[in-house]
Amino acid sequence: MIPGRRRAWLRAACVLVAVAVYLNVWTTYALYGLTEYGRYTQQQPGASTTAMGAEFRLVSLVQTTELVNSVTEEVASPSVNAVWVVARVDVVRRTEDPNLLCVLEILGPGRRVWEPNRDYVSRDGNSTCTLAEMPLGSTWPLEIVFQVPEKYAGELAGVAVNDPVSRSARPVLVPPR
């Protein structure tokens, strides 16, 4: 049989260990964002953000119902009840970071995201970043086409820069006013 005083210390130690485990789990969750959706930080209109050793700035975000395909010279329409959203983003490579990937998504209401639409329309401008072609310190213009449901077209928050290496909140670029 354990004496009363030892039993009290044992209970106190168990409570302290349980509190320490709870605080450790909560801190890990808060710091690293264990949700699959991720977190977002909306930038000021026209502001740039730095990720993966490059600076990203959204120049314009334009909605349209028709685009000209640069390969076939035909006018392409989006799917039914959808619109094209064309994002012009300037990327300036600042460091020799080998992890530089231009992974951009349109962020809508309720954390809905849409990835670039590379299947239906080809454009003259660059749609991806290529490390071999991007010189340090020079602006690399991107023209990225997204297909967004028409009902969300007026509620877009901006273009999210997805840094697959960082666990911090993803910056959301907003076009200048």
For the CA atoms of 3, 5, 7, 9, the dihedral, rounded to the nearest 10 degrees, stands at: -150
Beta-strand relationship, 104-107 and 54-64: unpaired
Six-digit token string for 13: 């130690």
pLDDT band for position 169 (cuts 50, 70, 90): confident
Which sequence spans correspond to the domains of the chain? 1-34, 40-174
Sequence-distant (≥ 6) Cβ neighbours of residue 26 within 8 angstroms: none
CA distance 89 to 174: 10
pLDDT in tens, 114-163: 988 766 666 666 667 776 677 888 888 888 889 999 999 889 999 999 88
pLDDT over 60 at 37, yes or no: no
pLDDT band for position 81 (cuts 50, 70, 90): very high
| pLDDT score recorded for residue 150 | 92
Q: Is the pTM of this model over 0.95?
A: no
Fold of 40-174: Immunoglobulin-like (2.60.40)
Decide if 122 contacts 67 (C-beta within 8 A): no
| pLDDT score recorded for residue 119 | 66
| pLDDT score recorded for residue 72 | 77
| pLDDT score recorded for residue 17 | 95
Quick one: which of 92, 25, 26 has its CA closest to 55? 92
